[in-house]
Structure 1
């Protein structure tokens, strides 16, 4: 009897795990579509939106560090930064200690436009989170953070060949 219970428990776990993976795939698609829409609203390519977000969250940082964080080749990053700078989204600044070094800084005066483009999603997330307690939100956050780390590792493996 206990092996039947264990087998049924294992099957239920596999089904639940598969459902989580399927939900994450659906989420990835929807977030990609959202970012494409935001990019269209801001007149940016999807890749540019992602890089702008990285600069806002991690910056200021060097073009090399940004390329690494975005999983992009440095030459590709140059084109992204050229577009973002031309559009007034970022500024390239010389490092005071090493005039050869450049840091990329987000133009904070443009943040309102980005926030406005994501306003619908931010409102929906606030409403969604209101239905959960603090402990549940902490668990969800831990799962999302760990999933992002796993995705980063898988992406690095793919790039390494």
Structure 2
């Protein structure tokens, strides 16, 4: 029986192939999450951008309209239209900023979150099942990878917008 040993060239090729697989996986994940979000938005009667902004408000709010526009990469007028639709549909409220009475803060109405969570329940359950296959150290490494990748995406988007 012969033993197979790895050469440095083999290791480099394996690493390149794995990196390509990661990038392809991220593209596939992005496409599938876009589809899921579109389906959720349709169920809720929200446009894609409305759901994106609602997610940002839930994650980072309360936010000023300017801060939301910056995070979402939207023009101020577009952001106003999104906020008008979200407010009419009962997803957000605009409150006076206590630090500056001339400004407003956008806050998600948390009582509506159950509707969102119900529509994402299937995906959340699937992710829980997938995570069960990994130990805590592996999950921490995956979480780090995903956060760093999200930051890279945000930085790339900012470079394209010139911010």
Normalising TM by the smaller chain, what interval?
over 0.9
Q: Distance in 1 between matches of 2:98 and 2:162?
A: 34
SS in structure 1 at match of 2:7:
helix
C-alpha distance in 1, partners of 2:98/2:24?
48
Asked whether 1:85 is paired with 2:78, we answer: no
1:41 aligns with 2:39: no
Pairing 1:121–2:123 present: yes
Q: TM-score, length-normalised on structure 1?
A: 0.94
Unaligned runs of 5+ in 1: none
C-alpha separation between the residues in 2 aligned to 1:96 and 1:138? 38
- Residue 151 (structure 2) aligns with: 149
C-alpha distance after superposition, 1:40-66 (max 9, x if no partner): 111101111111011011100100001
Matched, 1:76 2:114: no
Could you say which residue in structure 2 is the equivalent of 1:64?
Answer: 66
> 1:53 aligned to 40, 52, 55, which one?
55
Which of 30, 33, 39 is the matching residue for 1:31?
33
| Length, aligned pairs only | 158
Q: Determine helix, strand or coil for the equivalent of 1:104.
A: strand
User: 1:98 matched to which residue of 2?
Assistant: 100
Q: Separation in 2 of the partners of 1:132 and 1:113?
A: 29
Q: Specify the SS of the correspondent of 2:100.
A: coil
CA RMSD of aligned residues (A): 1.3
Task: Note the residue ranges of structure 2 that are not aligned, 5 or more in a row.
Answer: 1-5
Q: In the alignment, what sits opposite 1:16?
A: 18
